Structure 1
Amino acid sequence: MKPIIRKAQPQDAVKIIKLINEIISEPDSNLEMSPGEFLHSLDQEQKILEDFSNSENSIFLIAEVEGEIIGSIICHGSSRKASRHSVEISMSVASNWRGKHIGTELMQAAIEWARNTNIIKRMDLIVFERNSTAIQLYEKFGFEKEGLLRKSIYRDGKYLNAYLMALLI
């Protein structure tokens, strides 16, 4: 079944919190949080989603199948004039939906949004060095490695390297 890619709304907050908590609880999760660290209350998450929907240079997209949120991509832009043209990206896909092109569809939608804003000129992200599948996806879309962040994350009892990758629009 093909997912619907759409903007997240405040009423999606419960399902988004559930998705993120499931992903960070996975062994060898590739998110920069450990279990128990995603502490947004329902009200906080709803406010965040409302702020995203009112922003010119930020967007929170979700992938949804039959009412279930199976993935998300966040493009967070700065409110500062000097850096409002740049967004930081964070993407997550539920484990049982990985390998089914959900990440591809989310990234495609995010890049299309960025190109249509006439504001965004740079998209960047941090990806664990061990996450070769994600790195290949980002490179497929034209992202380039700009640097290696050594021992940048402590996760699962070890220090992990990560790449800073960027796409210029």
Structure 2
Amino acid sequence: MAVQPRIRRCEPSDAAAIARLMSPPEVFANTLQLPYPGVELWVERLTSNKPNEAPLVAEVDGQIVGCAGLHRETELRRAHSAQLGITVDQAWQGKGIGRALMTALLDTADNWLGLLRIELQVFADNARAIKLYESCGFVQEAVMKGHGLRNGEYVDTLVMARLHPKPPRLRPEIQP
């Protein structure tokens, strides 16, 4: 059954909740981050967010149950691209939290940040996440063999990307 979470911008005061969300072995095992992230790491990350990035959280009854973000490329020739990261509390997976976060991120990317390309990496055996990404318009571009170390084994990751479905254009009355 789908739940309608409250989606909002992630703030430095959310660091402890994000660290809790990311700490279970079942969660960090499906990311390319190190296990047992500390609160200090998240305070630093959330404090250094650039205004044109979109760190979001999903809340249900005041509890953070998911987080996601766009991490815009800093090189000028890649400024039209961003990396997407998303995590949903294991107890809340399959309840619409990931879709709500993805919808909000893609709206931000398409309508407010002017991004043409959103990229992500996902473990090749994470079928639930891949299904969500594909339903949001992402396509597989590559398989990276042995790319990520997970539980003492090198495993494959997929590179997936989504291009803006209707890239921004000048309004007709503004055309030269």
Q: If the TM-score is normalised by the length of the shorter chain, which range does it land in? A: 0.7 to 0.9
Maintained 8 Å contact 1:76/1:87: yes
Shift of 1:67: 1.7
Structure 1 residues 15-46: Cα deviation after superposition (integer angstroms, max 9, x where no partner) = 11111112xx228831113433x2451xx533
Aligned to 1:110: 105
* Residue 141 of structure 2 corresponds to residue 146 of structure 1: yes
- Stretches of structure 1 that go unaligned for 5 or more consecutive residues are none
State the TM-score, normalizing by the size of structure 2. 0.84
Whole-angstrom CA distance in 2 between matches of 1:34 and 1:47? 16
Aligned to 1:61: 56
Aligned to 1:50: 47
Whole-angstrom CA distance in 1 between matches of 2:150 and 2:34? 7
Maintained 8 Å contact 1:84/1:119: no
Whole-angstrom CA distance in 2 between matches of 1:18 and 1:28? 11
Bigger Cα Rg: 2
Whole-angstrom CA distance in 2 between matches of 1:32 and 1:12? 21
CA RMSD of aligned residues (A): 1.8
SS in 1 for 2:31: coil
Structure 1 residues 108-161: Cα deviation after superposition (integer angstroms, max 9, x where no partner) = 110000011252111000011100111111111110101000000111122210
Percent sequence identity over aligned pairs: 32
- Stretches of structure 2 that go unaligned for 5 or more consecutive residues are 165-176
Aligned to 1:79: 74
